[in-house]
Structure 1
Amino acid sequence: MSVAVSIRHNFGAFDIDATFESEGGVTALFGRSGAGKTTIVNTISGLIRPRHGWVSMGGVVLVDTERGIFVPPHRRRVGYVFQDGRLFPHLSVRQNLLFGRWFSRKQGGREDFDHVVELLGLGNLLERRPGRLSGGEKQRVAIGRALLADPGALLMDEPLASLDEARKAEILPYIERLRDEIRIPIIYVSHSIPEVARLATTVVVLSEGKVERVGSPAEIMADPTLFPVLGRHEAGAVLPAVIAGHDAVDGLTYLDVQGGRLIVPRVDAPPGAHLRVHIRARDVILALKPPEGISALNVLPATVVRIGATDAPIVDLQLACGTDLILARITRRSLHALNIAPGQQIFAVLKSIAVGRRDIGIYDESSSAMRE
């Protein structure tokens, strides 16, 4: 089921003008605070009525200002997960979940209930009340409640923003499972590069109310022209990878990528599992020849594709490793000292510990969401 949006709206001095379409999986609305992400989600849900434009879901028109169509929120079949769980404090987890099923058009539903409980790992929490749940557990319950309402699309407005890193690491694998197993589009609002790199099927980059770019995570993250919007600290490439094996002695995992092999801290997945790996540009070191006598374990042959602006102390480079694109950020002094130019053969060096668990996402390559 697709979600298509084309809206123009203004809030005093702030204008939003956005057009995009989601065909499945996770469409991440990415941008800094105030970029218009939540406005778009609220328009899809029906909480905001745009001045101009249209919204459709699965071919059904929800909003069309020219034709005077505006389907009210309660008839739109969208599930909405907010930054906080917004659970009923006086109800147990089971009762909160069943409240979501009350809105479902399906009859019965025990099988759906059990599936959602298993999918989100809620089995041991069913009799607890929200006051006894961690932040990550509350969000998992909120997601489950939204799913049990049988939505045509799931809207997630920065669902991890209020969680610490440990709780984020706890819930991200569950959202990955949602992406790979359910057959409805997920619109995911975030300003976190690691979240987008791990979860997104499609990225919509927003800046000051306008769509800057739409593309896959690999395309978006490997474009140095988007660094001002993405944020230079976390910006970097996203590479597809397959687990080649594990080293039982030193606890490392071998990953096959297009440009060669990466060695990273152990990934809890079997050989053959498909991953996506986020490699930050600031963690990549460049060498003119294969380095010797260094502690870094990853050395990939590469070709310089593009060099960014050279009028600042820091320069961004786009490199091709096989068919993959990666990014490197070096000083202008290093660029001139190495005499680096487009088309040049070079070596990209990456420390294994530079790739942490939050930089590696697992996905089911055969899932309908990823195929679409």
Structure 2
Amino acid sequence: MRFDIGVRRRLGDRTIAFTCRSDARLIALTGPSGVGKTSVLNMIAGLLPPDEGHIAIGGERLFDRAAGIDLPVAQRHAGYLFQDLRLFPHMRVEANLRYGRRPGGALSQAEILAFLGIGHLLHRMPASLSGGEAQRVAIGRALLSAPRFLLMDEPLTGLDQARRAEIVPLIERLRDEIGLPILYVTHELREAERLADIIVEMPGD
């Protein structure tokens, strides 16, 4: 599935621009804090409209300013892993996983639970989870939305070394076994070099 993206958006006194055309399994988007990496993900997901440009994934145009195309968020079928995870604190893991679930995904719920190793967490509350467990649940919720691609916003931020060592191999398995193309934001170059097929750097000032 091909990423074909060229977008530009003015936010305050900064112009955010991103261009990428690739069939890579995992594209890492790097650069210093504040250059607009998360804004790029939000543009692709449909949460932030670009001022100009286009977004096509797998041959489908999600956005094209010149052609007047701007698909709603739900029709873009992006699995979005937010940096702050956004698990609902008042809902058990099972209910968090059900939220936003759509039919037609590549994997069944049972397969996703087994893949992520989270079946034993279903009756837990988010506050009782470790950082690595919460990250796995958030990934599971994204996969259960039947996504065509994944957007991952600094998924290792806030994790200690042990939890990082737990999650990185999982991301490698997502890349290699699940077959969903991934756009992955990180400010850690070593992390990008390990995980990505290609690295796109957004320069700072």
Q: Please give the range of the TM-score, normalised by the shorter of the 2 chains.
A: over 0.9
Aligned position for 1:273:
none
Displacement over 4 Å in runs of 4+: none
CA distance in 1, matches of 2:37, 2:61: 21
1:24 positional shift: 4.0
Counterpart contact for 1:16–1:208, Cα < 8 Å: no
Aligned position for 2:93:
93
User: Does residue 175 of the first structure (1) align with residue 171 of the second (2)?
Assistant: yes
Matches within 5 A, 1:1-150: 1-101=1-101, 104-106=102-104, 112-150=108-146
User: Does residue 160 of the first structure (1) align with residue 153 of the second (2)?
Assistant: no
Matches within 5 A, 1:244-283: none
Structure 1 range deviating more: 42-51 or 156-165? 156-165
Counterpart contact for 1:83–1:162, Cα < 8 Å: no
CA distance in 2, matches of 1:169, 1:39: 27
Residues 232-261 of structure 1, C-alpha deviations (whole Å, 9 max, x = no match): xxxxxxxxxxxxxxxxxxxxxxxxxxxxxx
CA distance in 1, matches of 2:111, 2:123: 17
CA distance in 2, matches of 1:105, 1:2: 23
Counterpart contact for 1:36–1:208, Cα < 8 Å: no
Matches within 5 A, 1:287-298: none
Which sections of structure 2, spanning at least 5 residues, go unmatched? none
1:51 positional shift: 0.8
SS across alignment from 1:35: coil
CA distance in 1, matches of 2:22, 2:36: 17
What is the aligned residue count? 205
SS across alignment from 1:18: strand
Q: Which has a greater percent of helix?
A: 2
SS across alignment from 1:62: strand
Q: Which has a greater percent of strand?
A: 1
Residues 211-240 of structure 1, C-alpha deviations (whole Å, 9 max, x = no match): xxxxxxxxxxxxxxxxxxxxxxxxxxxxxx
Residues 36-88 of structure 1, C-alpha deviations (whole Å, 9 max, x = no match): 21111111001111111000121111111111111111221001111122112
Q: Which of 177, 184, 187 in structure 2 is aligned with 1:191?
A: 187
User: Does residue 205 of the first structure (1) align with residue 201 of the second (2)?
Assistant: yes
CA distance in 1, matches of 2:47, 2:182: 17
Matches within 5 A, 1:236-251: none
TM-score (norm 1): 0.53
CA distance in 2, matches of 1:162, 1:146: 19
Q: Which has the larger radius of gyration?
A: 1
Q: Identity rate of aligned residues, in percent? A: 48
Residue identity in the other structure for 1:206: M
CA distance in 2, matches of 1:156, 1:144: 13
SS across alignment from 1:207: coil
SS across alignment from 1:161: coil
Residue identity in the other structure for 1:88: F
CA distance in 2, matches of 1:84, 1:140: 13
CA-atom RMSD in angstroms: 1.8
Residue identity in the other structure for 1:84: D
CA distance in 2, matches of 1:175, 1:123: 18
CA distance in 1, matches of 2:34, 2:119: 38
User: Are the structure 2 counterparts of residues 118 and 30 from structure 1 closer, same or farther at C-alpha, using a change threshold of 3 Å?
Assistant: same
1:18 positional shift: 1.9
1:98 positional shift: 2.1
Q: Which gives a bigger RCO, structure 1 or 2 (Cα 8 Å, sep 6+)?
A: 2
